[in-house]
Every structure is written in structure tokens, then in C-alpha cells.
Amino acid sequence: MTEKVKIVTLGCEKNLVDSEIMSGLIDRRGYSLVDDRDDATVIIVNTCGFIDAAKEESVNTILELAELKESGKLKALIVSGCLTQRYKQALMEEMPEIDGIVGTGDFHNITQIVDEAVKGKKPVYVGNPVFNYEQVLPRKLSTARYTAYVKIAEGCDNNCTFCSIPLMRGKFRSRSIESIVEEVKGMAAQGVKEFSLIAQDSTNYGTDLYGDYKLPELLDRVSRVDGVEWVRLHYAYPGFFTDELIDMIASNPKICKYVDMPLQHSEDAILKRMRRPGRNRDIRELIAKIRSRIPDVSLRTSLIVGFPGETEEDFERLCDFVREIKFDRLGVFTYSQEEDTPASRLPDQVAEDVKEWRANTLMEIQRTVANENSGKYIGKVLDVLVERYDGRSDVYVGRSQFDAPEIDGEVFVTNCSGNIGDIAKVRITHAFEYDLTGEAVL
């Protein structure tokens, strides 16, 4: 009997890519991939273990899916990803419902693991997370047919005091330019137009492999592939944001004028405790340089509130920083006290209710900022990637180059005669906090 496999993906886009590779390998093995968990004989849960909320979601998902065994159809429940890499022993001891475990450096062995799990062998494949798929492995995209994520590196060497990623993903490891370009060529030939390049620390790309910052060269090479329309960069570490990178984004028409640069905080004392690069002055100078040389850039960042030792004064200055800098997009997270990280042992931990209040306050400030920022697009003609049709409102919905998939705003388009996946010219007529509306330019 051919096994029917369902993959449930939790967490970030890097996990999504791993799941797509596992899907490709499973498909090539001859097993069936199914969308409905009730139809599955094997379920793989690709977990996240980054913060407490993500770990809780992962555990709850595993327990929920384990209940499907009662029907007798589900033969094996396999758990992969960051949670297993970090807590393999605890998972095997405390959750007998699990029939197999796969670490972040072993997911390329998934077909063998499935074979063993359905035979009741309880396989555990969790080694050092050193695997980096230099060989282009088969992928079955779970995103829309016109957009895809591409991992350009794995792991991280920055050792921020709050972060557990090195414990789960290992040291920083770049893929070669040739491997990445080959993967992009294959997906572009299948109709993918938008490529989002991702890594935990994308601006450090190439330093381990080539001895130099090679992200500008990689962006240029990817943009030259036939069929590529947009190249989007995620998670640009501010400490390695070079002038050459700024010039490449500014000058190359296929590179989205979109910078996703996690800053985490604005205040020197907190940045020092976080072990982040640079200080307030450095951040301001870098942002000013990016905006002066890429005038139409959309700048996204993420911030952490409630880090140990963050005072009311620190938080007020962070609020002032957000008001002043006027980020186009902003994500706010409350500090999570992760075991085995240096920050978890710091004094002056902030109460949970204070963290939540600060996060909500900061997001309210950003709502006002976003509303002000979005008005600059009124009257402009933007390229919009059309993603769906809303029959109730008789409008098409898409994204401009200034909005990343899933996390940012949308553009609602009237009078559009294109197809899903096309890039249309749209004149913006109205602006809201995060979304825009406009008319297709025929």
C-alpha cells in the first residue's frame, strides 16, 4: 500500500522550505502527499522551537494530531524541525505518541525515516545540524505558483543573548552562488516570478564560503535568471549592511526596494545586553544612508520589548525612536526567556503584563506612523503582483514590491483585466494604515 503523507508546517519560512524539500523527496519516493490530515497514514509535524509560544503551539499540534491514531488509519506520527533538534530526549520520553524524530540537519533522510516509522522502528535522526543542501533537492512548492522562498544560508554565528537559533540550526553556513542560482532557474522555468531570499543573517552571506560579503553578487546573479521579476531580501543583519549592497538594491530594477532589517531595539544599554552590533547612532546613520540612496525604499524591522533590564525610560525612548524613524513596516515581540541562552540568566526580568502593555503601546504608535506613511503612494503608479480575485467586492487583490508575502499589506485593484500571477500597473487612489486601493492602468 502506498503511504499517504500529510506535512504540517509550523514556524518560519526556513521551516517552510524544509517542508517543501521533504514533500519533494516523499513525492519522488512514490508516496502520495495529501492535503487532508484525516486521509493521511503518515503525518509529519515540522515544528518551531524559537520561543515559548511557538514551542507550546508545536506540542499542542502534536497531541492534537496524535488523536487521529484512534481511527486506525494513521500509522505514524513523525516530528521534525527545531523543537526536535533541541529537545529530542524529552520528546521521546514524554510523548510516546511520537513514532519518529527528525532534526534540522537530517530532514533530507525523510523517506528512510517514514519507511522505518511505519514499520514501528521509532527512528531518531538528530545529529549535529550541519547539513546545508548544496545539491539542489526536489521541492514541491506550497506557496502560490508565482512566488517562492530560497534559503541562501543556514544557522547563525552572531550569538545574540536572547536567541536560541544557534542551538537548533548550528553555525552559519552559506550555500554556493551556483547552487542557489541553479535552484532559482528550476523554479523560474516553472513560472515562479518572485523570489524571497532568506537566512537568519542574510547580509553575512558568503563570508564563510568565499571570505567576503557576497550578497550583492548573489542578488545580481539571481536577478539575471530568465523569468525572474522580483528578488526580495529578508533578515538583513544591520552590522554587515555594506555600501555595495545598498548600491545593488538601488540600481537593480529587479531587486525589490524593500529592506527587512531586524534591529531589536534602539537603546545602547539594551543593544549591548542583547549583544547586537552597533549602537543607536550607528542605526540612525545606516537608516539615513539607505533612505538617501534608495529614496523609495520600504523599511521593515522587528523590535523586542521587555528585554531584561529595559526600564520605563528605555521604553519611552524606543517609542520616540519609532515615531521619529517612521518604519514602513514593524513587528513587535515580547521578550521570551529561553533556557540555555545568556539573557535568561540576566537580572531584572520584566513582568509579563508589562511586556504585553509595552508591545501593544508600540504597535498603536506604529498604526499612526503607517497611516501617515501610506499616503505617499496616492497618485503613484505601482507594479502589483495580482494574487486573487474577491468576487464579493469585484476587485483583484495583490501586493506591490513594498509588501512581502503573508506579513505585509495588500493592494485592492479595480478595472483589472489581468490574470492571477501577472504583474499589473496600478494607479493608487486611496491609502489606509497598511493597505492601498487603486485602478489598473490599461
Please give the Cα distance from 395 to 196 (Å, whole number).
Answer: 26
Q: β-strand 32-33 against 42-47: which pairing, if any?
A: unpaired
Distances (CA, A) of 254 to 179, 201, 221: 20, 22, 11
Cell numbers at 142, concatenated: 506550497
Q: Compute how many other C-beta atoms are within 10 angstroms of the C-beta atom of residue 250.
A: 16
- Residues composing the chain: 442
- The residues that bridge with 258 in the sheet, in sequence order, are 298
Q: Which of 122, 9, 3, 5 is nearest to 406 (CA)?
A: 9
Cell numbers at 441, concatenated: 492602468
Distant-in-sequence contacts of 208-213, Cβ < 8 A, 24+ apart: 208/172, 208/173, 208/174, 209/174, 209/176, 210/174, 213/240, 213/242, 213/244, 213/245
- Under DSSP, the state recorded for 264 is B
The sheet carrying 298-305 orders its strands as 147-151, 194-198, 230-233, 255-260, 298-305, 329-334
Please give the Cα distance from 270 to 162 (Å, whole number).
Answer: 11
Helix axes 243-251, 215-223, angle to 10 degrees: 20
Distances (CA, A) of 209 to 54, 175, 177, 213, 236: 32, 8, 10, 10, 18
Annotated binding site: 12, 48, 82, 156, 160, 163
> What is the residue-wise DSSP string for 369-412?
HHHHHHGGGTT-EEEEEEEEEETTTTEEEEEETTS-TTTS--EE
Q: Which residue's entry shows cell 464579493?
A: 392
* 273, 267 contact by CB (below 8 A): no
Annotated binding site for [4Fe-4S] cluster: 12, 48, 82, 156, 160, 163
Q: Which of 220, 270, 278, 210 is nearest to 247 (CA)?
A: 220
Q: How far apart are the first and last CA of the chain?
A: 54
Please compute Rg for the chain using Cα positions: 22
Please give the Cα distance from 414 to 437 (Å, whole number).
Answer: 8
Cell numbers at 412, concatenated: 485592492
